[in-house]
Chains A and B, each alone.
Chain A
């Protein structure tokens, strides 16, 4: 596997370094003429340097998903849309069917996922224990940056950064309502409304949905070797979703309020891979952001101020049911199974101030600093099995023991403070050449310091060619469980240091004419200080590397026919940290055909291959191909219909249950119909 990859990577480097390809002349106007209206309207991108940039010249490897992309491809959730990004694989987890985004073959914990610049990361679990993506009706666009982002965004931005920008006041031009109904008893309704009152721009979006989930048949689970397993049976994955957003804007400031709630969220299987038909969890997340941005604060200074607040609460309800009713161990038989009830709440406060100085010719210097407090202010846990705080054993039938406020609770009530400052300079050495250099310092109250530099050289000799060299370092903060909480499987380690990474990227974009685009990106990433369990305790350990090539192409065959696609191949060190559930290669193809003026037909296919899964795994499920098709019809200016079939060929696609040879099927063939009405 290694040889062809390295051969290809070096060959590509040599080919693309040859000067002949850079020959040619073209006007900048051609570049913009080659873009669609939607792309033109989104031409400014903020994620790469936190200052606005033309996407191809941005000093990182960027993809943007627009509202139009979401509509045409029939995406109903953020997770559907992310499948189209090169090098990004969505793995639905067996616990809760959570759509976890994995960049570059690494763990999802190495992805920084933000909504309007707010990290979705909680202090214990990841993107939130009941992460379910976001409904597309709330999304304006998604900016994805492959590669490290800690020099700008701080923790967790090791493998990639996703920033979801929701529809806010000023962007919402039409009032719209929509309804969707589909397989698995899925129904959604949404609305958006934008208006202006006394000079205040107001925006509202609301989305409410319910689904029974695709409830796959689990042939065998982790308990199947014993006699207590519920398998074969279905894993329940239903949930209800509510997403409410409001924004107010005037002059240079903006106030964003959002409330996201999941209810009756069935987790299907436990974290240990055991069928759990009982658990119906719930969570809610409230965000309030006040943002001020004045690019002309003084003659040479622009200024940005941010004050953010987040409150996140979650509960496992009557679950988690760690083992089924009747399960018996040395203490006796558990009539209701082993139950583990968890509730937690956390609050995040964050202030950030940054200035953009352009008083030195050919330089844009950004200086910023911020402070945040992340407070896990409530953790409660009740169990009917295991050990009591006094060390005695809970016998089967004893009822619940309260572990709250003891050393045994799943995570302590504690907080973490983070102070940071950063500097970045974008230096336009010439019209063709731009150098971006940045450095961020983070200080955490629990584990200490981290310094993360970045360097980006972007060469844009003419309209046809862009070449980029990028280097960045990044870190991932240890979570509260790793630092503080003793669980049945692990001991904490308060002396843990963050995991760190160094990444090299070399990227090329070639647009021979306005209808065609080729992109190629090579990366090499090295992880250090990886946190893992050693003899039952979390320790900083060894290193691990991953390298790969990401290729993409777009071809506007005619005004009504567009094709695009990408292919990624990656290779990893066969160290103990290899992500064996991640594909070694994957590809994505998309076609949009507007065969009649008011019609659009989209077909997309997502292929993953070589998910090796380790020794002894069932080789039948190492790859899959899922194709979707969507037909959209704008009957009038106001009324629009769509119909979509997902997994068109009914592929038996599966992911593995962690630590076992058992599989969880992904959704079989399914579909939906949709209607939207715009108030003109």
Chain B
């Protein structure tokens, strides 16, 4: 009944339209205020969420050699090495579908990971020995991703970084990708900065 009255009033004039506007605004506001107050947003957390979405997209636009799926064609193993906000947030991808495969997230503290991993995110964590990790997993069909500065130039595949305007961008070390037998789609390549290692 209230609703009908409100509508009829609105037909009368623009003054009443503004009145309706004000009343409904007050209604919206009254709904809005009792919300439990959790204090200011954690900017780093927001960035981690964005980067996690990037990691998901990297997997989406990459194809693995067919033999990768010979033994397990139903799960996609997304692994993390070390601890940082992104590694933590990536756990939220568990259960997502990637090319009809269910994402499983595995966390590793050390620089050795399970061979089942299809993608490894290397955390910005001083306890991880990046050089050793990259050396020991060179040329395996594992997509390596990190936001460690210089990652792509030191043998990693995809490096995320924040540009001067505050947007997340990424670099791809294409030679490493080719060496590992992975295939990154042209769409992903067209959005990336392509870097070359001096001695791949």
Contact = CB atoms under 8 A, between A and B. Distances in A.
B39 interface: yes
A13 interface: yes
Contacts of B40: 361-362, 428, 431
Interface stretch (B73-81, B150-158, B186-194): B186-194
Given A43-B167, A598-B186, A32 B52 contact: yes
A20 to B, nearest CB: 11
Which of A17, A31, A35, A467 has the most chain B CB atoms closer than 10 A to its own CB?
A17
A459 B28 contact: yes
Contacts of B61: 37
B126 interface: no
A680 B194 contact: yes
Interface string A22-38: 10000111011101011
Nearest to B171: A173
A534 interface: no
Given A17-B28, A598-B186, A637-B186, A7 B39 contact: no
A38 B25 contact: no
Contact of B53 (A32, A457, A506): A32
B92 A431 contact: no
Interface stretch (B2-10, B117-125, B131-139): B2-10
15 contacts: A9-B17, A11-B3, A19-B31, A28-B46, A32-B50, A32-B52, A32-B53, A37-B191, A44-B165, A293-B164, A362-B39, A461-B35, A547-B14, A597-B185, A637-B190
A431 B186 contact: no
Contacts of B49: 28-29, 31-32
A27 B92 contact: yes
Contacts of B72: none
A182 interface: no
Interface in A471-528: 504, 506, 522, 524
A637 B35 contact: no
Interface string A414-447: 0000000000000011111100000000000000
A547 B25 contact: no
A502 to B, nearest CB: 10
A634 interface: yes
Contacts of A637: 186, 189-190
Contact of A430 (B3, B7, B10, B37): B37
Contacts of A31: 49
Nearest to B3: A14
B191 A524 contact: no
Nearest to A38: B191
Interface residues of B, number: 56
Contact of A41 (B41, B96, B169): B169
Contacts of A225: none
B33 A433 contact: yes
Question: Is the contact region of chain B dominated by helix, strand, or loop, or is it mixed?
Answer: helix
Interface in B18-75: 18, 20-21, 24-25, 27-29, 31-33, 35-41, 46, 49-50, 52-54, 56-57, 60-61
A133 interface: no
B168 interface: yes
Contacts of B54: 37, 40
A32 B53 CA distance: 6
A432 B35 contact: yes
B21 A33 contact: no
Contacts of B107: none
Contacts of B20: 10, 13
A293 B166 CA distance: 11
Given A17-B28, A41-B167, 11 more contacts: A17-B27, A32-B49, A37-B57, A37-B61, A38-B191, A40-B54, A44-B166, A173-B192, A431-B40, A457-B29, A597-B185
A6 interface: yes
Contacts of A573: 14
Interface string A593-609: 00001100000000000
Interface of B: 3, 6-7, 10-11, 14, 17-18, 20-21, 24-25, 27-29, 31-33, 35-41, 46, 49-50, 52-54, 56-57, 60-61, 89, 92-93, 96, 163-169, 185-194
B21 A524 contact: yes
Contacts of B17: 6, 9-10, 524, 547
A678 interface: yes
A42 interface: yes
B7 A7 contact: yes
B195 to A, nearest CB: 11
B53 A33 contact: yes
Nearest to B45: A28
Interface in A622-677: 634, 636-637
A10 B7 contact: yes
A9 B9 CA distance: 12
Contacts of A254: 164
Nearest to B42: A431
A430 B27 CA distance: 19
B53 A29 contact: yes
Contacts of B36: 430
Nearest to B2: A14
A192 to B, nearest CB: 13
Given A43-B50, A430-B39, A467 B28 contact: yes
A178 to B, nearest CB: 14
Which of A28, A52, A293, A545 has the most chain B CB atoms closer than 10 A to its own CB?
A28
Contacts of B28: 17, 459, 467, 469, 506
A10 B49 CA distance: 37
Contact of A469 (B25, B163, B166, B167): B25
Closest 10 A/B residue pairs (Cβ): A32-B53, A430-B37, A10-B10, A431-B38, A13-B24, A6-B10, A29-B92, A459-B32, A44-B166, A173-B193
A3 interface: yes
Contact of B35 (A430, A545, A547): A430
B37 A429 contact: yes
A467 B24 contact: no
A467 B21 contact: no
A13 to B, nearest CB: 4
A433 B32 contact: yes
A173 B50 CA distance: 21
A17 B24 contact: yes
Contacts of B6: 10, 14
Nearest to A468: B28
A249 interface: yes
A170 interface: yes
B190 to A, nearest CB: 7
A6 B21 contact: no
B168 A40 contact: yes
A522 B14 CA distance: 14
A41 B160 CA distance: 11
A40 B57 contact: yes
Given A29-B53, A37-B57, A40-B50, A457 B32 contact: yes
Contacts of A33: 53, 56, 96
Contacts of B27: 17
A23 to B, nearest CB: 12
